[in-house]
Amino acid sequence: MFEAFLDGLAGMGNPAVIGAIVLGTVLGVLFGVIPGLGSVIAMTLILPFTFGWDPIIAMYVFAGIIGTASTGGGVPAILLNTPGTIANVCTTFDGFPMTRRGEGGRAIGLAATASALGTLFSIIVLAALLPLAEVMLRAFTPPDFFWLIILGLIAVTFASRQNMAKGLAAGGVGILIALIGFSPVFGVRRYTLGSEYLWDGIEIVPLVIGFFALSELIVYTSRGGSIARDANVNLGGFRQIMRGAVEVFQYKAILLRGSVIGTVIGAIPGAGGAVANFLSYSTAKQASKTPELFGTGYPGGVVASESSNDAKDGGILLPTLTFGIPGNGEMVILMGAFVLHGIQPGRDLLVNRLDIVWAIILGVIAAQVLTTIIILGGGAWLARISLVPVKYIAPFVAILSFIGVYAVRSNIWDVALAVFAALVGFSMRRAGFPLITMVIGFVLGQLAEEKFTQSLQISGGGYSIFFTRPVSIVLLLGIVFMLGWSMYKAAKKNPAPQRAEP
Amino acid sequence: MTRINGFNLGVYAFLLTIALSIVLGATAYAGKQQLTAFVIGVPTITLLVFLFLAEVTPRLIKLTGAFGVSEDDAPQAAEDDAGASPGGMETGSWRRIGIVYGWLLLYFAMTFVFGFYIAIPVFMVLFLTIESRLIPVFAVGVMAAAGLPLYIIFRLVLDIPLWPGILPRIIPGVIGGGIVPQLN
**Predicted confidence (pLDDT) per residue in A45-63, tens digit:** 888 888 888 999 999 999 9
Chain A residues closer than 8 Å to B158 by CB: 49, 407
Chain B residues closer than 8 Å to A27 by CB: none
With 50 as the cut, is the pLDDT of residue A420 above it? yes
pLDDT tens digit string along A202-212? 988 889 889 88
Interface residue A214 vs chain B (CB under 8 A): yes
Query: What's the mean pLDDT when you consider all of chain B?
Result: 77
Q: Which of A93, A363, A121, A444 is nearest to A266 (CA)?
A: A121
User: Is A399 in Cβ contact with B39 (below 8 Å)?
Assistant: no
pLDDT tens digit string along B142-154? 888 877 877 777 7
Alpha-carbon gap, residue A9 to A17, rounded angstroms? 11
pLDDT tens digit string along B48-86? 998 888 888 766 665 555 454 444 443 333 333 334 454
pLDDT tens digit string along A141-183? 889 888 888 887 787 777 666 678 888 899 999 999 999 988 8
User: Is A430 in Cβ contact with B91 (below 8 Å)?
Assistant: yes
Q: Residue A178 to residues A325, A438, A445, A469, A478: CA-CA distances in angstroms? A: 16, 10, 5, 27, 25
In this predicted structure, what is the pLDDT of residue B66? 47
Q: Which residues contact A248 (CB under 8 A, 6 or more apart)?
A: A109, A110, A113, A114, A117, A255, A303
Alpha-carbon gap, residue A290 to A121, rounded angstroms? 26
- Closest residue in chain B to residue A446, using alpha carbons only: B36
The full DSSP string for A230-252 is --------HHHHHHHHHHGGGGH
pLDDT tens digit string along A383-411? 666 667 777 888 888 988 898 888 888 88
Chain B residues closer than 8 Å to A426 by CB: 97, 101
Q: Which of A393, A31, A341, A53 is nearest to B157 (CA)?
A: A53
Alpha-carbon gap, residue B9 to A495, rounded angstroms? 25
What is the three-class DSSP state of A190? Answer: strand
Q: Which of A200-214, A293-307, A468-482, B78-92 has the lowest mean pLDDT?
A: B78-92
Q: Which of A6-15, A162-171, A377-386 has the lowest mean pLDDT?
A: A377-386
| pTM, rounded to two decimals | 0.77
Q: What is the average per-residue pLDDT within A328-346?
A: 85
Query: What's the mean pLDDT when you consider all of chain A?
Result: 83
In this predicted structure, what is the pLDDT of residue A233? 56
Q: Which of A148, A151, A427, A433 is nearest to B68 (CA)?
A: A433
Chain A residues closer than 8 Å to B71 by CB: 493-494
Percent of chain A with pLDDT over 90: 20
Q: What is the average per-residue pLDDT within A489-498?
A: 61
With 80 as the cut, is the pLDDT of residue A272 above it? no
Percent of chain A with pLDDT over 70: 90
In this predicted structure, what is the pLDDT of residue A315? 86
Alpha-carbon gap, residue B91 to B99, rounded angstroms? 13
